[in-house]
Structure 1
Amino acid sequence: MSVRVPSMSVLPPVRRDRIIAQLPQFYSKKAAVHTKDEFNSKVKTACQEQRTGTVGFKIAKVIVVGDLAVGKTCLINRFCKDAFDKNYKATIGVDFEMERFEVLGVPFSLQLWDTAGQERFKCIASTYYRGAQTIVIVFDVNDVASLGHARQWLEDALKENDPTNVQLFLVGTKKDLSSPAQYSQIEQDAIELAEEIKAEYWALSSLTGENVREFFFRIASLAFEANVLAELEKSGSRHIGDVIKINSNSNNVYATSKKKQSNCCQ
């Protein structure tokens, strides 16, 4: 009796709770880089007409950085595994999770890199920063110092990436542990920093799950949109290049014909 082994190249369908049909909204309009309500019209049209090129096969790399014990691993685990482990374990080096989505009917994946916050592992973790499309800088809303270190984490991450090609998010965790008065003060400071570094600000709780799903859906949607727009720009450039090539050949033919006519007259 033979057993048929399914092909490894065939991926399982996207989970129903990972389907995105509309652009998820920002956490706070005053702390959002992208304030539009809908996906770019060109992106929507391209998806409807199935002109997204290789986007469906791409994996967007997301690196999550920040101080030790600010909740980076808990944040990723809450979204990917819907779990929260109260027993803290420091990440050694790096770890990553893969999440598959369907955005406007097109498959799209995020690779979430969980990096160590300890100084002794910083050199190891930084080697995995390269090629990020999204940088998430995490701080603890109950620890002002962790917010103060956000600039340095961003600077380190940008050493390995092109600042013009990455999307930035500043994320405050452990919101459930903060009193309204305490949170109000640090939120004001965080929003000012987010505006300064041109990042989108979010506050959430990995313990309760508050805003976690919305946050990662926002990352996936904006990364997807950026990839589709880049693909359209590339395909448009190729098309324009073809037109120029045709015109160039046409001009050469005309020049050759004119030259022959001149010789004939002589």
Structure 2
Amino acid sequence: MNVLAPVRRDRVIAELPAPPRFCKDTFDKNYKATIGVDFEMERFEVLGVPFSLQLWDTAGQERFKCIASTYYRGAQAIVIVFDVNDVGSLEHTRQWLADALKENDPSNVILFLVGSKKDLSTPAQYSLMEKDALKVAQEMQAEYWAVSSLTGENVRDFFFRVAALTFESSVLAELERGS
């Protein structure tokens, strides 16, 4: 018996978003599930089974560094975000990832490199930054996504991708433990 309120129709993932260009696709295309998503409640309902997604933002600031490791521990996905208009922030991503991986086994986390504020770049500026970002993502073995919070470009697809891959990882881990 399901005791949770139903998920709104506009929050149901009917089709999983495709990975962006130039990324390693780790999602099993044969796996089918209906995933209801309510980001405001941080709750997922998958085939009637509750699944919780917790998001922690350490903001990459030095003042949070002492407590950040607590949030990194046991992560299933690590999202490293940089400003596509600031080369320095892209350079910092390697250190942010290294800090997060001190608390996690790299083979057990899904990595994402996300360029934010895409709306503030001209196409020519973004094209140059994208080349560098794709190199960094490849070094990290991470999927690269460019998003704009202002316009909403790729935000929904990105979070659905994180949710889908994290859920798949949880299900596979549970199946391995059970067998």
TM-score range relative to shorter protein: 0.7 to 0.9
CA shift for structure 1 position 154: 0.2
CA shift for structure 1 position 126: 2.4
4+ aligned runs moved over 6 Å, structure 1: none
Matching residue within 12, 16, 25 for 1:23: 16
Q: Provide the TM-score with structure 2 as the length reference.
A: 0.87
Within-5 A mapping of 1:247-258: none
Matching residue within 23, 38, 52 for 1:109: 52
Runs of at least 5 residues in structure 2 that lack an aligned partner in the other structure: none
Within-5 A mapping of 1:62-77: none
How many percent of aligned residue pairs carry the same amino acid?
71
Q: 2: CA distance between counterparts of 1:225 and 1:40?
A: 11
CA shift for structure 1 position 124: 1.8
CA contact (8 A) 1:26 1:35 kept: no
Runs of at least 5 residues in structure 1 that lack an aligned partner in the other structure: 1-8, 49-78, 82-97, 237-266
Between 145-154 and 11-20, report the one with greater CA deviation. 11-20
- Name the structure 1 match of 2:75: 132
Between structures 1 and 2, the one with greater helix share: 1
Distance 1:224 1:148, change over 3 A: same
Matching residue within 139, 152, 156 for 1:209: 152
CA shift for structure 1 position 233: 1.9
Amino acid at match of 1:147: L
1:185 matches 2:128: yes
CA shift for structure 1 position 127: 2.1
CA shift for structure 1 position 105: 6.1
Describe the SS at the equivalent of 1:131: coil
Amino acid at match of 1:202: W
CA shift for structure 1 position 106: 4.9
Q: 1: CA distance between counterparts of 2:174 and 2:47?
A: 16
Give the count of matched residue pairs: 175
Q: Provide the TM-score with structure 1 as the length reference.
A: 0.60
Structure number with greater Rg is 1
Across the aligned residues of Structure 1 and Structure 2, the Cα RMSD in angstroms comes to: 2.3
